Amino acid sequence: MPDYYFNYSLTGNTNQKKILFLHGFLGNSQDFNSVISLLSQNYCCLVVDLPGHGKTQVTGDETCYNMSNTARSLIALLDELEIGKCYLFGYSMGGRLALYLALHYSEKFEKVVLESASPGLKTEKDRSRRRQADFELSQKLENSNIKEFLLDWYDRPLFQSLKNSPKFDRLLESRLENNPIELAKSLRQMGTGNQPSLWEKLAENQVPLLLLAGECDDKFKNINAEMAELCPSATLKIVPNAGHNIHFENVENFAAIVREFYS
């Protein structure tokens, strides 16, 4: 992987079943610390900083940040770590990437949990409009104060319940550790506008999927209900007392649900 120097860590007994965790936009591998503390007795947890985030370094061009190249590099990382077949979890942006991995590298994943994820946008018109919006946001990231950007980002209705969490300030501080120039590359390349639509591939999927959406997240409840209808191997679960970021807002319930699905 000459273009990627991944920052990653393995927690738990390496003889146990392994779970690969993929974080969302603006996050990093430390986002799952609370979850891993509840799961690492039963599983070996692999967390990775995705390109543009945390301490992972990308030395190739900007296309290294897109979905297909990132997916390929993660498969190479699993091979390098001699991890054959594992469980997979992805949140939001990481969930979109996890779905891509499940559909294109199904032989590597036994079961997959997608939290607040989507298969992308259905039409080229919608993708084009979103690409423009993502580009404009990426320019804001590059040209403005990152804290101001974060406050604007989390002011969206999607994150209302997250902002009400007593732990929100701590999450905001962790987001400030990212490099805005790198985040902008991720937004342009891995954003929903640049993602290929995976809707038409859902019916083909053979890997067992658990789709999670928070009860306060109407947008993703609707998206995931449609995904579950199209994908015979998918099960949808609505998680109470949570919005878009379930693993942060309701960590114990989240860990119990994941443990039951993977067992």
Beta-bridge partner residues of 45: 11, 19
CB count within 10 Å of CB 167 equals 12
- In tens digits, what is the pLDDT along the chain, a chain of 263 residues? 579 999 999 999 999 999 999 999 999 999 999 999 999 999 999 999 999 999 999 999 999 999 999 999 999 999 999 999 999 999 999 999 999 999 999 999 999 999 999 999 999 999 999 999 999 999 999 998 899 999 999 999 999 999 999 999 999 999 999 999 999 999 999 999 999 999 999 999 999 999 999 999 999 999 999 999 999 999 999 999 999 999 999 999 999 999 999 99
- For 76-116, write each residue's pLDDT tens digit: 999 999 999 999 999 999 999 999 999 999 999 999 999 99
Whole-number pLDDT of residue 144:
84
Query: What CATH superfamily classification does 4-121+196-262 receive?
Result: Alpha/Beta hydrolase fold, catalytic domain (3.40.50.1820)
Which of 135, 110, 152 is closest to 19 using CA atoms? 110
In single-letter form, the type of residue at position 171 comes to L
Whole-number pLDDT of residue 246:
97
What is the phi/psi pair of residue 185, to 5°?
-65, -40
Rounded to two decimals, what is the model's pTM?
A: 0.97
Q: How many residues does the chain have?
A: 263
